[in-house]
A and B are shown apart, each in its own frame.
Chain A
């Protein structure tokens, strides 16, 4: 697949930085955008801060908030232009309270990972390999 945009939704600055660093070390060719919360993310998908072309991938931890994450994913699945986005849920939370709801929204993967910089690279590397073997539809 060619170059696409990836939107990361997480309010922990340190973790966003860690992931950004890992992306550059693994040499992920896609452009990484980040949003601190669901509202900010929504404005980047269908609002004042809209990213074009629309990101092909969203990465989000849905166990940080009660059900905001699930509401956000539901809204995406109900939106004509956004519903095709691939969603990867990454989480370091031990409780999987939102897992079933997320799987029912047909996320592409529910992934437990630790966000420490040494262990992050192997995770990102597998994800990146996977993104490289799949095809995406042409840009919108």
Chain B
């Protein structure tokens, strides 16, 4: 991803969490185009109807109305066009069952949303370094 900036889709229902990600991105100079969907249903619509360019990275919340993150992942992994997108779960859920389900659906990482913004900034900086290391 060194050369061109890949698209990122954020699937998140909480307005403050969306602002949080945007702020952390800008503080870390992450310039990638960021698209936002409010839940799994909305994300699938955006991806399937090709309203947005295909993202290489999806940041996914788990507890969401209409369609939660795990349900979204299941459908996504069965779709030929979408199944190889890298997914990073970002959630408050510390439930083992959510972690097991997410890793069984081969997410690239499961990150707990920390309480403080400072800690979140550090996590996002680490993610940025990791993304720069990887070929997507």
Contacts and interface: CB of A to CB of B under 8 A. Distances in A.
A binds B: yes
A95 to B, nearest CB: 13
Contact of B108 (A77, A86, A105, A138): A86
12 contacts: A84-B103, A84-B106, A104-B83, A109-B108, A109-B130, A110-B134, A111-B135, A112-B135, A126-B126, A129-B129, A134-B110, A138-B96
Contact of B84 (A84, A106, A112, A126): A106
Contacts, number: 74
B135 A134 contact: no
Contacts of B123: 133
A112 B109 CA distance: 19
Nearest to B88: A134
A112 B103 CA distance: 24
Contact of A108 (B84, B100, B109, B129): B109
A135 B134 contact: no
Contacts of A137: 96, 99-100, 103
Interface of A: 77, 83-84, 86, 96, 99, 103-106, 108-112, 123, 126-127, 129-130, 132-138
Contacts of B127: 130, 133
Nearest to A87: B106
Given A84-B106, A135-B99, A135-B111, 15 more contacts: A84-B104, A99-B135, A106-B106, A106-B108, A109-B108, A109-B130, A123-B133, A129-B126, A130-B109, A132-B126, A133-B126, A135-B110, A136-B99, A136-B110, A137-B99
